[in-house]
Amino acid sequence: MSALVRFLYPVPPAERSPGAVLRWWEQRRPAYNLAVGAAGLTSLAVATLFGLLPPGGQFFRLPLIGIAVYGLLANLCYCGGWAIEMTINRLWGEKVAPVGPVLFRQGLIFSVGLSLLPIIIAGLGWVARVFFALIH
């Protein structure tokens, strides 16, 4: 099994106690932060390049506090994964399969997608600048 498959389809914890669930999630947090951070840096670089393109290109500087707040909020939302899993385990116990791997995968995809969204917005902004430059 490849590292990517193991990362995206992790084996759920054998024990479903709150402590085991929390440890399972926290073991994956560094990889989550790396993936979301890489997507964010890519987004920042590409959006900056779109901003520099003519016509009317100018350097855009995102405040570092904005990046830090985004990272903090992403990690707070990450905590929602283990909180939801613990709640489901408490409510339904062994009646449902472990949901951690699915929640992890969905949260990762959403977080990386949200981190890449500025690329689309910057690209559309550049297309709009080109369009308005052509009609004026």
84-119 residue pLDDT tens: 999 999 999 888 989 999 999 999 999 999 999 999
Instruction: Classify residue 19: in a domain, yes or no.
Output: no
Alpha-carbon dihedral angle through residues 12, 80, 102, 15, given to the nearest 10 degrees: 20
26-66 residue pLDDT tens: 999 999 999 999 999 999 999 999 989 998 877 777 778 98
Instruction: Classify residue 55: in a domain, yes or no.
Output: yes
Instruction: Classify residue 26: in a domain, yes or no.
Output: no
Instruction: Classify residue 41: in a domain, yes or no.
Output: yes
* pLDDT band, residue 127 (cuts 50/70/90): very high
72 C-beta neighbours (distance < 10 Å), count:
10
DSSP state string for 95-112: GS---HHHHHHHHHHHHH
Residues near 11 by beta carbon (within 8 Å), at least 6 away in sequence: 101
Q: Is the peptide bond before 12 cis (omega within 30 degrees of 0)?
A: no
Instruction: Classify residue 27: in a domain, yes or no.
Output: no
31 C-beta neighbours (distance < 10 Å), count:
14
Quickly tell me which residue has 């929640």 as its tokens.
103
Model confidence, pTM: 0.89
CA quadruple 17, 12, 116, 67: dihedral sign: positive
Q: How many domains does the chain have?
A: 1
Please give the residue range of the domain that contains residue 95.
34-135
